[in-house]
């Protein structure tokens, strides 16, 4: 069962619709779907919401610590609510997938993603689920740090909306713990190039 869904991103209006904030954007999509509200939780360095998915209570978390220190917030929430790493889903941007592709996995390293690196350190575990949402790679010569902080084009936002809808259809199953089934369906689906 997944009890905590964490979207990764950076706080602040200047980062709102950037590629690096696709985790935040996905959680905003989920909350809009169920009609909840974000609450500031300064003790956790985060904004949070409690939602019901598939009859299960799930916490949504957007760390407000900036990407590189995401683990601070995730660790505090996990300890306070006694949530095990394998009950956590981290939603983050993925350079290795084109825009319009999303994949679900459990375990693994951080692959250079500083948000994941910090979460692994604070949880002292890699045994959490990851929903990797493709943001594409920059053209040769462009600095990756600048690219991830750039905004999606209008066409790319259309693909992102489709991905959110496709993945959102599985959230009840994920919350209920049917993650292997969802992985099989989602990871073999052709989501891009609508």
With tokens 């690196």, the residue in question is 117
- Is residue 129 situated within a structural domain? yes
Q: What is the pLDDT of residues 89-124, one digit of tens each?
A: 999 999 999 999 999 998 777 777 889 999 999 999
Confidence tier at 189 by pLDDT (50, 70, 90): low
Residue 28: band (very low, low, confident or very high) from pLDDT cuts 50, 70, 90: very high
Question: What is the per-residue pLDDT for 90?
Answer: 97
Answer yes or no: is 156 within a domain: yes
Choose between 108 and 142: higher pLDDT.
Answer: 142
pLDDT exceeds cutoff 70 at 14: yes
Mark whether 122 is an active-site residue.
no
What pairing do the DSSP bridges indicate for beta strands 39-41 and 46-53?
antiparallel
> Which member of 20, 110, 113, 162 is catalytic?
20
The domain total for the chain is 1
**Is the pLDDT higher at 188 or at 178?**
178
Determine the distance from the C-alpha atom of residue 29 to the mean position of all C-alpha atoms in its chain, rounded to a whole number.
11
Residue 89 inside a domain? The answer is yes
Q: Look at residue 15 and tell me whether its pLDDT is greater than 80.
A: yes
Mean pLDDT of the region 7-28: 96
* Residue 194 is assigned to a structural domain of this protein: no
Three-state DSSP state, 62: strand
The confidence score (pLDDT) of residue 193 equals: 44
36-69 as b/e: b if 16+ CB within 10 A: eeeeebeebbbbbbebebbeeebbbbbbbbbbeb
Q: What CATH number does residue 23 fall under?
A: 3.40.50.1470
Q: Identify the bridge partners of residue 106 per DSSP, sorted by sequence position.
A: 129
- Summarize pLDDT for 42-57 with one digit per residue, the tens: 999 999 999 999 899 9
Determine, yes or no, domain membership for 193. no
Report whether 88 contacts 78 (CB < 8 A): yes
Instruction: Report the mean per-residue pLDDT for the chain.
Output: 92
Does residue 32 belong to any structural domain of this protein? yes
Task: Tell me which residue range forms the domain holding 144.
Answer: 4-188
| Domain assignment present for 85 | yes
Which residue shows structure tokens 């002292």? 124
């Amino acid at each position: 069962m997944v009890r905590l869904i964490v979207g990764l991103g950076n706080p602040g209006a200047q980062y709102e619709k950037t590629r690096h904030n696709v985790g935040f954007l996905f959680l905003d999509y989920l909350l809009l779907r169920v009609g909840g509200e974000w609450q500031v939780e300064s003790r956790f360095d985060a904004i949070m919401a409690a939602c019901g998915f598939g009859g299960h209570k799930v916490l949504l978390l957007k760390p407000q610590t900036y990407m590189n220190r995401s683990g601070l917030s995730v660790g505090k929430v996990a300890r306070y609510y006694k949530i095990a790493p394998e009950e956590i889903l981290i939603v983050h941007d993925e350079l290795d997938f084109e825009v319009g592709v999303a994949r679900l996995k459990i375990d693994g390293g951080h692959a250079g993603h500083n948000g994941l690196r910090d979460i692994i350190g604070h949880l002292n575990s890699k045994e959490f689920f990851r929903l990797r949402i493709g943001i594409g790679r920059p053209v040769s010569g462009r600095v990756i740090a600048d690219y991830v902080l750039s905004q999606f084009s209008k066409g790319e936002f259309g693909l992102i909306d489709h991905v959110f809808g496709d993945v959102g259809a599985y959230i009840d199953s994920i919350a209920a713990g049917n993650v292997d089934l969802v992985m099989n369906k989602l990871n073999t689906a052709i989501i891009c190039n609508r």
